[in-house]
Structure 1
Amino acid sequence: MPLFSVILPAHNAEKTLAATLVSLARQTCDDWEAIVLDDGSTDRTGRIATAFARVETRVRVVRLSGLGPSRARNLGAAEACGQFLAFLDGDDLWVPEKLAVSAATLRASPGVDGVFGRVAFFDGDPAHARTESRVRPGRLALRDLIGENPVCTMSNLVVRASSFRAVGGFDETLRHSEDLECLIRLVASGAFVTGLDRRLVHYRTSPFGLSADLSAMHAGWRRAVETAMKADADLRAREVRAAEAAHLRYLARRALRVNTPAGTALRLSMRGLAASPAAFFAPLDRGVPTLAAALLEPLMPTALRRRLARL
């Protein structure tokens, strides 16, 4: 039985999948299997995955018919044989030590159910990250998740297979924030998830795809927060409003970076300010540039607008 099962859903990822698979093959820990789920791709995704699997026998390819990321990941987890599940999206990259560092923590601490690290966000070249997430020590709490979720992406999470299965996997009715909603149920179940203060993942940003659909992202976030409120009756309305302000600020910053209609960033910023001005401006080095860029968006060149959104 392998130590890790890597679950890798991919849909029309021909431009990025090869690099993702290479980052997997370069892992310093070699005790893994990988399940690539080609979810109804109409490009060369399936051929790239199949060619890689011919060379790397630890990889197997499963073809699906466009079931969506939640269903694809659940099917991959059902096929998995490993003690730990490591999720990897078809456009993200792992640092070579990702699995080794995760294994060291999980083996040394049997009471830890899941781990994640820092995420570097990049556009074209992963060597030139534009920003990086932060990880604070200690146990991940529901309040952390509904705020600026420090896990950021499923490509960052390694979890014990038994813990993942105990909460029923991903909600297959969700196409956005399904990762956050699953994490909320995992933490609410009592699972101990903790951050490692080192860069483990490179996250590729894109103006296209699921992560560019801002209204759907917000609706998915609301569903995830509803799950959190049901799980923790102590979550106060003020905390939820503050979390929503931070989330709307994040969406406004994303609107400035991707191809959205003029005024989208300002509308999102205004909604965030209405939810909680204090939370929208905390910290100031994010809130102020976001609002300034949203207000000045019609007058600014695209490059400057995106640069402000990255501050």
Structure 2
Amino acid sequence: MPRFSIIVPCYQAAKTIADTLASLRAQTVTDWEALCVDDGSTDATYALLRTAAAADPRIRVLENPGKGPSDARNHGAAQASGELLAFCDADDLWAADKLAALEAAFADPACDGAFGRVSFFERRAEDARSVSSVPSAPLSIPMLLGENPVCTMSNIALRARVFAQSGGLRREMVHNEDLDWLIRLVGMGARIDPIDRVLVHYRVSRSGLSADIERMRADRAMALESAARFGFQPDAQAEAVHLRYLARRALRVGLGGTTALGLALRGLALAPARFLTPMHRGCGTLAGALIAPALPAPMRRALFSR
């Protein structure tokens, strides 16, 4: 039985899956299995997965009986044999020491889950200029109602029994399914600890789900329903932080015109002090939104790189 089971949902990932799997094989901790769940790809994804599995017995190829990334992750988790589950999307990359960092975190029996910092890149991971931060304390629901510091499912790992207790991800959600799931995890008492180092390299897509800002905003309402069941409602400060996050995301994926500016101004109107704090995020986001159309992309990304 492997120590880690890595769940990799795959859909039309022929251009990126080889690099993703290479980052798994480069892990300094080798006691893992990767469950690659094909979600009905019509490109070469499935063939590439079969080839990878033939070359490395730690890689298993599954076909998703349902549809969608949440279904694929749930299916992979149900087939996993490891004590610890970690998720990695088929276009993201892991730092080589990610599993080693997780192993150290889970040495504490009170740790139910863990996540690190994320770098954002378009072409090469080493060229990333934007890096997420982590809080100084475990995840809380009020924290999640502002800006989700986990950022992506590729950045979360937890004990398999805790995933089972959570009931998994909601299959009907396209965006913020991870936020909804994290809220439910924390609400049921799971301790999700931060690791202050970059463990994931997230590939930014200008045309994919990461660019669908309006749908992200709409689907967040479903996650807020879960928070309400635990007695939490977002206040003006949390909404301002969330709108700042969306504005930064809009800038990162090239939606730097009226989309980013509209989000920033709404957040600023709700809670000016909170939107602008810390200054390098708030003022950088506002400045980027105001001058984005004329600003070179590298300089725009640098404004909100922390």
- Same fold flag (TM > 0.5): yes
**CA shift in 2, pair 1:261/1:273, >3 Å:** closer
Q: Which amino acid aligns with 1:92?
A: D
- Could you say what secondary structure the match of 2:38 adopts? strand
Q: Which runs of 5+ in 1 are unaligned?
A: none
Question: What CA distance in whole angstroms lies between the structure 1 residues aligned with 2:104 and 2:287?
Answer: 44
What does residue 90 of structure 2 align with? 90
Tell me whether 1:212 sits opposite 2:211 in the alignment: yes
* Counterparts of residues 134-283 of structure 1 (less than 5 Å): 134-231=133-230, 233=231, 235=232, 239-260=234-255, 262-283=257-278
What are the Cα deviations for residues 107-155 of structure 1, in whole angstroms up to 9, with x where unaligned?
A: x211211111111222211112212222233322112222222211111
**CA shift in 2, pair 1:252/1:66, >3 Å:** farther
Q: Which runs of 5+ in 2 are unaligned?
A: none
**CA shift in 2, pair 1:267/1:281, >3 Å:** same
Q: Which amino acid aligns with 1:47?
A: A
Contact 2:251 2:301 in 1 (8 A): no
Contact 1:256 1:306 in 2 (8 A): yes
Question: What CA distance in whole angstroms lies between the structure 2 residues aligned with 1:163 and 1:176?
Answer: 22
Q: Which amino acid aligns with 1:303?
A: A
Question: What CA distance in whole angstroms lies between the structure 2 residues aligned with 1:139 and 1:296?
Answer: 36
Q: Greater shift after overlay, 133-142 or 117-126?
A: 133-142
* Counterparts of residues 91-110 of structure 1 (less than 5 Å): 91-106=91-106, 108-110=107-109
State the 1:170 CA deviation.
Answer: 0.2
What does residue 40 of structure 1 align with? 40
Identical columns (%)? 50
Q: Greater shift after overlay, 119-128 or 6-15?
A: 119-128
State the 1:5 CA deviation.
Answer: 0.8
State the 1:309 CA deviation.
Answer: 5.1
State the 1:240 CA deviation.
Answer: 2.7
What are the Cα deviations for residues 192-229 of structure 1, in whole angstroms up to 9, with x where unaligned?
A: 11011222111111212111100111112232122112
Question: What CA distance in whole angstroms lies between the structure 2 residues aligned with 1:194 and 1:225?
Answer: 22
Question: What CA distance in whole angstroms lies between the structure 2 residues aligned with 1:263 and 1:308?
Answer: 20
Question: What CA distance in whole angstroms lies between the structure 1 residues aligned with 2:6 and 2:32?
Answer: 7
Question: What CA distance in whole angstroms lies between the structure 2 residues aligned with 1:68 and 1:185?
Answer: 20
What are the Cα deviations for residues 5-59 of structure 1, in whole angstroms up to 9, with x where unaligned?
A: 1100011112211110001111111111111011122222112111111101111
Runs of 4+ deviating beyond 4 Å: none
Q: Which amino acid aligns with 1:264?
A: T
- Could you say what secondary structure the match of 1:151 adopts? coil
- Could you say what secondary structure the match of 1:6 adopts? strand
What does residue 116 of structure 1 align with? 115
Count residues in correspondence.
305
Question: What CA distance in whole angstroms lies between the structure 2 residues aligned with 1:94 and 1:229?
Answer: 34
State the 1:258 CA deviation.
Answer: 2.7
Contact 2:11 2:39 in 1 (8 A): yes
Question: What CA distance in whole angstroms lies between the structure 2 residues aligned with 1:57 and 1:222?
Answer: 42
Contact 2:243 2:267 in 1 (8 A): yes
What are the Cα deviations for residues 245-266 of structure 1, in whole angstroms up to 9, with x where unaligned?
A: 1121121122223354841112
Contact 1:280 1:287 in 2 (8 A): yes
Tell me whether 1:60 sits opposite 2:39 in the alignment: no
State the 1:304 CA deviation.
Answer: 6.4
**CA shift in 2, pair 1:117/1:173, >3 Å:** same
**CA shift in 2, pair 1:309/1:43, >3 Å:** farther
**CA shift in 2, pair 1:286/1:123, >3 Å:** same
**CA shift in 2, pair 1:93/1:227, >3 Å:** same
